Chains A and B, each alone.
Chain A
């Protein structure tokens, strides 16, 4: 167990370091001055040279890139993400402020995805009506093909602007969470339903299901007592990946629904080359990804006792 955990933690640290390093060099080597977000695009040329020199010194842009890299890596190891150019405040504070909104959205979307995805997959194989099964199995590819940008705007148009049931923007708890969660959850539900349905189909074709059925188990007992549990492993693996997708999708959904969150922060930071903020977002996203995948790995043995993550190696 200990050896396994150490291996995983080392792996996680390597992922975080790589994410930080790649972003650092991409952001610093692509053209465009980071001073832009400090003094504003239209003022760049009219700013006296002495001011530029002073700002460069203050933010360390005058140092060689490798020396800046070590400085920032060292600061990161001490939990310091630096100062945002745009707000003049600490990046960690900015992220800390936005994170709860994105977490709330991502979790709500995953909930939508799991409930809807499972419902479709289970219903498709539980029903005795072939036409209904065909219909239900058509839904996931359809759902996966709908871009959240479009479905979000349609939901807003109908539910908020036409029926006037929910607000289009602002922060009013559940009332402003529902539509974004559905928008972000739909494509995730589609993927989950597809994988879960495929798992169910394979599981139901396995010999042990015939044995159980022959023993006189009811249809619901076969499904809910045996098949679902076994078929959910691939879906669980996918769920780990979907967390990443939920974070990525949040960028679009937060923009459409005028929500605060990591996605909005990231978008603004990339546009204005607010490098410390971009790095902070990347490190945070990589961290979340690593943790979720670790959690998924730890849950595997609980679902399928045949899987053991640690133990003697031959």
Chain B
């Protein structure tokens, strides 16, 4: 395999903070994923959890005690060795950061302590069940950082100073709004920690010498840079730029993110219209998901449940999500909704217009609005800035609200739709009296309580069935990560969480 060369990558936004533990921005985690290793890894194809920095692990059935044995001979890029006490220090500090470790603290709720049981073995203890932990430990935001990093100031770590991981690349510099430079670590020899697929017999240093991430916020600039050879990989290729990158020395590398697809959740508490099961059913039937996919690209695929098919526990419920506008028309007419002169239905003088609160992907919702109009439903988009969205969300002053979140663990369904007791957003405003809601909450708790995969899959499936059968969620489009890649660079792949895996990449 040819070693050497600098890989130039067009990155769609400024990482702002390059410490993967302090951010939830995809751009930061994309850069951060290269410099850390995680205790466990998720195999992209099977979604199974496999050894990473930990060569083995064991969980008790009630998901409150997790024991790990680390690989030996691993060091951080500042030379500090990885052992049980450095991992203990890492978790204690992460939990102490609270909400300042934004993605992590949700995974570690109930964390009591880490007990060092040997130089390379330790046990994490929780006061309440946390069966998401194994999958959580595969995410970049829980990539293990050196003691020197965990003792440094949060600001310094954000700026890329004192930031040391055990990954195949080392952060060399971060210039805000301009670039991030990472160099291959010469002494790297634990490629097995990258997971069984990433390693494939390659355990030494990464093949490319350097990663130059150029921050290019404009999608046209990213595709232009790629076409003109100024970069070899580009993140976040816009649907309109995809056709130009298929063939001619380039290809599209894409993956559908795990988690909840982009869609709409009805307000089951504040919206009188949405509480009507007939209207919800008609909304579900009126939407043609293939038509929405056409407005994007085939990288996005068609959602088939309240979880995407790249999430553990996904169940194919596409039979409930097939477009049938004739049936929707029939249901609404029978329910007393008559079409007015403007084509919008009315009942007792009340028009069938639905207000959707939204801050992202307006094109997807626009496409859904066009579908709904066909059956006489007027979907009005209330697109607000992100900061405003989170102040308007709790008011409940809307019929529908956008949802969608990428996460690898099926419990994410309850983070989005579960109630506050489960740490959820309750996007659909389900209450104890909403049909099926009590069962949904119970499945969430059961899922969190067990580490047995077959049980977790069972509860995840039951949860999806409640949401889709009662039409408490209208999935519209998958969340896809779409990269443009020059054919000059070989063996670029995506991790299970759809971040670039550049360990095997070579010219």
Contact = CB atoms under 8 A, between A and B. Distances in A.
Contacts of B158: 87-89
Contacts of B217: 255, 258
Contacts of A55: 98-100
Nearest to A149: B218
B53 to A, nearest CB: 25
Contact of A168 (B14, B25, B216): B216
Nearest to A97: B176
A163 B415 CA distance: 50
Interface in B194-221: 214-218, 220-221
B230 A168 contact: yes
Contact of B103 (A32, A40, A86, A258): A40
Contact of B23 (A40, A47, A273): A40
A82 to B, nearest CB: 13
A87 B159 contact: yes
B368 to A, nearest CB: 21
Nearest to B14: A268
B432 interface: no
B454 interface: no
Interface stretch (B296-304, B317-325, B380-388): B380-388
B88 interface: no
Contacts of B178: 169-171, 258-260
A164 interface: yes
A107 interface: no
Contacts of A164: 228-229
Interface residues of A, number: 56
Interface string A252-273: 0011111111001100100111
A54 interface: yes
A40 B177 CA distance: 19
Contacts of A51: 98-99, 105
B14 A264 contact: yes
A33 interface: yes
Interface of B: 10, 14, 16-17, 22-25, 98-100, 102-103, 105-106, 109, 153-156, 158-159, 175-179, 214-218, 220-221, 224-225, 227-230, 385-393, 405, 415, 423-425
Given A32-B389, A87-B155, A98-B177, 15 more contacts: A40-B23, A41-B24, A48-B109, A87-B16, A88-B17, A88-B22, A88-B100, A88-B158, A89-B156, A160-B224, A168-B224, A170-B214, A259-B178, A265-B176, A271-B386
14 contacts: A40-B25, A41-B386, A41-B390, A46-B425, A47-B99, A51-B98, A51-B105, A87-B16, A156-B220, A160-B224, A169-B216, A254-B177, A256-B221, A272-B387
